[in-house]
């Protein structure tokens, strides 16, 4: 049992927390300002009160404080659950900041890079096929992405349209596809961007009277990857330009990769001619991960951030966070932060409280029907039979536990509880509750089962 968190763990927590904060920040500001102001920031340490961030010069602190202070605080709160403040540590580097009226341009003295992204193709090199967890929920999309990377543009999957809910790994997969092509075909021109960035660049081109140059730059690509294409909805001029770019690339056997939260046929506010073209190749979905895949994802993430967590805790998280990969990973990050900032051992109780904070499931009021549903599923019996007159022992046990938890977790009267279980009277409910209490006292395994059912009910209610 540890008494304090050592410096190494603090530094690890700082790096992990800031990495996830950066993801939130990146979603809320344009790509170029993010590259300019946040890419050079390095996390140094984390305490229960603050995170220390290294920056290359004092001007960074002035600009970030004036423009992004509230955003940083909000991101830190969302990731850690605490009202952390941030402090800057200036470590002078050979940066030259242009005039204040052009703050988003950062130049390195030895090699001017005015308005040039740190990664010209927009791809994040950390996303690869090797660290993508494959399972039944994404097997088709994964296999198609690998096949495309081996022969971009000259395959049956053009365009490759991948869709699914938030946090299921779409962005990881399309980055991995792009990175593989860049590695194996270094002469091919590959670019990744979000539809929002594409739209903003189009508006800038209109403003600067450079539409032809803008369009030509994308027509020259060998691989065009656009994330969240659904955000082109109701943008008629942008859609019209994209339609022409799409046609040019497709006719020249250039690879097009698109992601969306919905399949093509469900995209509202999108021109029919575009929807038709989205279906020319392969449209493949990614579903929420199954239990086994969720466990694999948790172990992979734990390995990445360098923490060892018991299987019981992993099982609890995987069993209770089922909607998407992002929440699973966020849970581990928050668990590490809660441990480091509160000087607590990572145990099942801390995991339970962290899961409650992370879960975005809609809050549900605990009622007898919900209790019966969760208890019957846990005990492997038919929910309908709990209300029948059967005296089979496994059904009786499930019924008595459901009655006991209904009394413990709701304000329902004994009469109301009895009515929910086949019209039984209040004396039957009292007998059931007394029986369960005695078994809890006498049988540790039975006690664990009842507590586990209770936890699942409370978790389901947010």
What is the distance between the alpha carbons of residues 105 and 96, in angstroms, rounded to a whole number? 10
The whole-number pLDDT of residue 2 equals 41
Q: What is the CA angle 231-236-237, rounded to 5?
A: 105
Domain boundaries, the chain: 1-90, 139-285, 291-361, 368-460
Which residues are CB-neighbours of 47 under 8 A, at least 6 positions away?
10, 341
- In this predicted model, what pLDDT tens digit does every residue of 243-285 receive, in sequence order? 999 999 999 999 999 999 889 988 888 999 999 999 999 999 9
Q: Other CB atoms closer than 10 Å to residue 302's CB: what's the count?
A: 18
Quick one: fold of 1-90?
A: GMP Synthetase; Chain A, domain 3 (3.30.300)
The whole-number pLDDT of residue 370 equals 87
Mean pLDDT of 371-382: 90
Give backbone dihedrals phi and psi of 227, rounded to 5 degrees, phi first. -90, 145
User: Is residue 110's pLDDT more than 60?
Assistant: no
Grade residue 192 by pLDDT with cuts at 50, 70 and 90. Answer: very high
What is the distance between the alpha carbons of residues 137 and 272, in angstroms, rounded to a whole number? 29
Q: pTM for the whole thing? A: 0.55
Q: Enter the DSSP assignment of 266.
A: G
User: Is residue 24's pLDDT more than 60?
Assistant: yes
User: Is residue 433's pLDDT more than 90?
Assistant: yes
What is the distance between the alpha carbons of residues 76 and 22, in angstroms, rounded to a whole number? 9
User: Is residue 123's pLDDT more than 80?
Assistant: yes
Of these ranges, 11-20, 28-37, 119-128, 252-261, the one predicted with the greatest mean pLDDT is 252-261
- Quick one: 134 exposed, middle or buried, by C-beta within 10 A (0-12, 13-18, 19+)? middle
Residue in the block written with tokens 């581990």: 332
- In this predicted model, what pLDDT tens digit does every residue of 407-416 receive, in sequence order? 888 878 888 8
Q: Do domains 291-361 and 368-460 have the same CATH topology?
A: no
User: Is residue 109's pLDDT more than 50?
Assistant: no
Q: Other CB atoms closer than 10 Å to residue 80's CB: what's the count?
A: 24
Quick one: fold of 291-361?
A: Helicase, Ruva Protein; domain 3 (1.10.8)
The domain at 139-285 falls in which architecture? 3-Layer(aba) Sandwich (3.40)
User: Is residue 99's pLDDT more than 80?
Assistant: no
Q: Are strands 50-55 and 85-90 parallel, antiparallel or unpaired?
A: parallel
Domain 368-460 belongs in CATH node 3.30.1280.10: no
User: Is residue 129's pLDDT more than 80?
Assistant: yes
The whole-number pLDDT of residue 253 equals 93
Residue 202 CA, distance from chain mean position: 29
8 Å CB contact between 455 and 352 = yes
8 Å CB contact between 202 and 238 = yes
Task: Give the residue from 290, 241, 275 showing the smallest Cα distance to 139.
Answer: 290
8 Å CB contact between 207 and 242 = no
Task: Give the residue from 284, 360, 285, 363 showing the smallest Cα distance to 322.
Answer: 360
Task: Give the residue from 7, 90, 83 showing the smallest Cα distance to 42.
Answer: 90
- In this predicted model, what pLDDT tens digit does every residue of 285-298 receive, in sequence order? 988 888 888 888 88
């Amino acid at each position: 049992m540890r008494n304090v968190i050592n410096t190494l763990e603090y530094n690890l927590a700082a790096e992990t927390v800031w990495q996830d904060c950066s993801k939130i920040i990146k979603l809320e500001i344009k790509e170029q300002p993010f590259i300019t102001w946040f890419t050079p920031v390095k996390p140094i340490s984390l305490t229960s009160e603050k995170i220390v961030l290294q920056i290359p010069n004092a001007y960074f602190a002035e600009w970030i404080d004036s423009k992004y202070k509230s955003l940083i605080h909000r991101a830190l709160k969302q990731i850690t659950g605490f009202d952390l403040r941030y402090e800057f540590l200036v470590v002078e580097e050979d940066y030259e900041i242009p005039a204040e009226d052009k703050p988003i341009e950062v130049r390195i003295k030895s090699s001017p890079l005015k308005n040039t992204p740190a990664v010209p193709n927009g791809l994040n090199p950390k996303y690869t096929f090797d660290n993508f967890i494959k399972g039944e929920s994404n097997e088709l999309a994964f296999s198609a992405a690998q096949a495309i990377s081996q022969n971009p543009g000259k395959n049956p999957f053009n365009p490759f349209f991948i869709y699914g809910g938030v946090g299921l790994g779409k962005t990881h997969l399309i980055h991995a596809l792009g990175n593989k092509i860049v590695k194996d075909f270094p002469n091919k021109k590959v670019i990744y961007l979000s539809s929002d960035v594409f739209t903003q660049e189009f508006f800038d081109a209109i403003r600067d009277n450079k539409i032809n140059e803008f369009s030509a730059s994308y027509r020259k690509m060998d691989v065009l990857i656009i994330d969240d294409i659904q955000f082109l909805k109701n943008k008629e001029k942008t859609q019209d330009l994209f339609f022409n770019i799409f046609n040019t690339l497709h006719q020249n056997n250039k690879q097009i990769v698109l992601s969306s939260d919905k399949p093509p046929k469900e995209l509202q506010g999108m021109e029919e001619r575009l929807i038709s073209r989205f279906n020319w190749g392969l449209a493949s979905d990614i579903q929420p991960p199954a239990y086994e895949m969720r466990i694999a994802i948790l172990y992979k993430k734990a390995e990445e951030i360098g923490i060892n967590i018991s299987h019981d805790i992993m099982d609890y998280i995987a069993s209770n966070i089922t909607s998407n990969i992002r929440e699973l990973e966020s849970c581990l990050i928050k668990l590490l932060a809660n441990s480091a900032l509160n000087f607590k051992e990572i145990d099942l109780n801390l995991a339970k409280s962290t899961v409650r904070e992370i879960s975005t499931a809609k809050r549900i009021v605990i009622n007898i029907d919900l209790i019966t549903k969760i208890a019957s599923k846990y005990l492997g019996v038919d929910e309908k039979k709990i209300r029948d007159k059967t005296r089979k022992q496994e059904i009786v046990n499930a019924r008595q536990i459901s009655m006991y938890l209904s009394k413990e977790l709701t304000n329902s009267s004994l009469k109301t509880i009895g009515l929910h279980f086949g019209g039984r009277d209040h004396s039957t409910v009292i007998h059931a509750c007394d029986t369960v209490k005695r078994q809890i006292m006498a049988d540790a395994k039975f006690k664990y089962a009842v507590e586990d059912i209770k936890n699942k009910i409370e978790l389901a209610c947010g």
